[in-house]
């Protein structure tokens, strides 16, 4: 089983040059890997066998396969009126029993055949902002910070290389990185919009069951247990309600005399044991991811609006550098230039980065009228 997860190991590897932050990586690394693993689980018959088994009185293998295929394609159902009472007395199993003829009593279940496609589509959508950012970024930071991340100051950091980098930041490309920073901010907003959209998409996919699914499961696990004869619909485990393991299916066929016969079948859905766990994990993860993504966007707006905050962020990457030195650079730099400088601090040896900051400060002092 471990071998099945080896293709996902590259998602855990970090690149030599980092052009984003931890929240961004939660979207295209953690979430994408999680969704791909879930897709693998729901499509692996070797662990859970066939996804549906419908009981039949006919021992013919052809009839069994036909009924299984029919119920898988056209869906199964449970009964709302059979979620209360005692199993074996008021109903055969939870949600299973004779119909009472009540309107809208049936809870249709047709989602299970689409779960793998939805999960795979979600993985693609969570990776899309990362793909867009890679195209927009174009390897610029890698070209600037290549071979400068080593803990040992190498010979690559020569006087010529230092002067070249200082000139790039303070003269030749000054005030040209605003679009670079704006595009990254757009990708952060895309991450936020996507994760919120995924919550609504799953809610629509599950017929309105996803929006309160995690909260309902958490609430149910803390409800005091009561005797079975006092059970009602409100005390049903949401996992059993929305992801039933036993369902009903009607199968119509012609009898020997040409009359339509209706076969009432009990179907076992072993895959729902996995589906119920997958969607409870996704509920908590997507809610958490939405909150921290919103915080990341708000923080980006705050950094854009409050220049002194940029100074403190650069100071957090340095040691033994006076605040006025950094503040001087931040005041002269635009937001995009500051963002490039901040990313360099995440990808360079601290000693080299300190040297770069000092040289930039000297360069700004020597050209006070520089625009």
* CA nearest neighbour of 99 among 336, 262, 289, 331: 262
User: Which of the 8 DSSP states describes residue 232?
Assistant: -
Q: What percent of the chain has pLDDT over 70?
A: 82
Identify the pLDDT of residue 10.
59
Quick check: 256 pLDDT over 80? no
Determine the pLDDT at residue 370. Answer: 45
284/243: higher pLDDT: 284
Pairing of strands 260-268, 76-79: unpaired
Q: Counting Cβ atoms within 10 Å, is residue 16 exposed (0-12), middle (13-18) or buried (19+)?
A: exposed
Decide if pLDDT at 11 tops 60: no
pLDDT tier, 233 (very low <50, low <70, confident <90, very high otherwise)? very low
Mean pLDDT estimate for the chain: 81
Q: Would you say residue 2 has pLDDT above 80?
A: no
Is the model's pLDDT at 20 over the cut of 70? Answer: yes
Any long-range contacts for 312-321 (C-beta under 8 Å, 24+ apart)?
A: 313/342, 314/338, 314/341, 314/342, 314/345, 314/357, 317/342, 317/345, 317/346, 317/350, 317/353, 318/345, 318/350, 318/353, 318/354, 318/357, 319/350, 319/354, 320/354, 321/354, 321/357, 321/358
The per-residue pLDDT for range 23-78, each reduced to its tens digit, is 999 999 999 999 999 998 888 765 666 788 888 766 555 577 888 888 888 888 88
Q: Which of 43-57, 62-76, 131-145, 324-338 is least confident?
A: 43-57
Dist CA 61 CA 45 (whole Å): 19
Q: What is the pLDDT of residue 164?
A: 83
User: How many C-beta neighbours within 10 Å does residue 350 have?
Assistant: 12
Residue 296 has pLDDT above 90, yes or no: yes
Of the two residues 176 and 293, the one the predictor is more confident about is 293
Question: Which H/E stretch holds residue 41?
Answer: helix 32-43
Interval 191-202 mean pLDDT: 95
β-bridge mates for residue 93, sequence order: 96
What percent of the chain stands above pLDDT 90?
29
Question: What angle do the packed helices 323-332 and 307-315 form, to 10 degrees?
Answer: 130
């Amino acid at each position: 089983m471990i071998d099945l997860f080896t293709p996902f190991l590259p998602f855990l590897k970090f690149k030599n040059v980092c052009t984003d932050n931890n929240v961004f990586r939660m979207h295209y690394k953690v979430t994408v890997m999680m969704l791909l693993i879930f897709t693998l689980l729901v499509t692996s018959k070797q662990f859970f066998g066939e996804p549906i088994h419908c009981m039949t009185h006919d021992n013919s293998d052809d009839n069994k396969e036909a009924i299984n295929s029919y119920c898988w394609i056209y869906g199964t159902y449970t009964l709302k009126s059979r979620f209360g009472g005692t199993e074996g007395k008021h109903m055969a199993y939870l949600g299973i029993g004779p119909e009472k003829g009540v309107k809208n009593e049936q809870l249709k279940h047709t989602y299970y055949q689409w779960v793998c496609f939805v999960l795979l589509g979600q993985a693609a959508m969570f990776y899309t902002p990362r793909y867009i950012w890679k195209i927009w970024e174009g390897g610029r930071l890698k070209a600037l910070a290549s071979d400068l991340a080593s803990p040992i100051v190498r010979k690559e950091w020569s006087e010529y290389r230092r002067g070249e980098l200082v000139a790039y930041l303070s003269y030749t490309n000054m005030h040209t990185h605003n679009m670079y920073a704006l595009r990254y901010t757009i990708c952060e907003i895309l991450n936020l919009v996507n994760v919120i959209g995924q919550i609504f998409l799953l809610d629509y996919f599950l017929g309105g069951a996803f929006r309160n699914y995690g909260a309902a499961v958490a609430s149910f696990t803390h409800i005091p247990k009561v005797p079975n004869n006092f059970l009602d619909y409100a005390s049903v485990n949401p996992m059993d309600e929305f992801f039933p393991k036993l369902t009903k299916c009607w199968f119509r066929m012609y009898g020997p005399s040409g009359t339509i016969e209706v076969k009432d079948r009990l179907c076992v859905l072993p895959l729902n044991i996995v589906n119920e766990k997958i969607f409870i994990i996704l509920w908590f993860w997507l809610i958490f991811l939405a909150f921290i993504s919103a915080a990341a966007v708000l923080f980006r707006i705050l950094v854009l609006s409050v220049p002194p905050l940029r100074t403190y962020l650069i100071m957090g990457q340095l040691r033994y550098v006076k605040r006025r030195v950094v503040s001087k650079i931040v005041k002269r730099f635009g937001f995009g230039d500051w963002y490039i400088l901040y990313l360099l601090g995440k990808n360079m040896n601290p000693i080299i980065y300190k040297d770069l900051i000092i040289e930039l400060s000297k360069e700004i002092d020597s050209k006070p009228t520089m625009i």
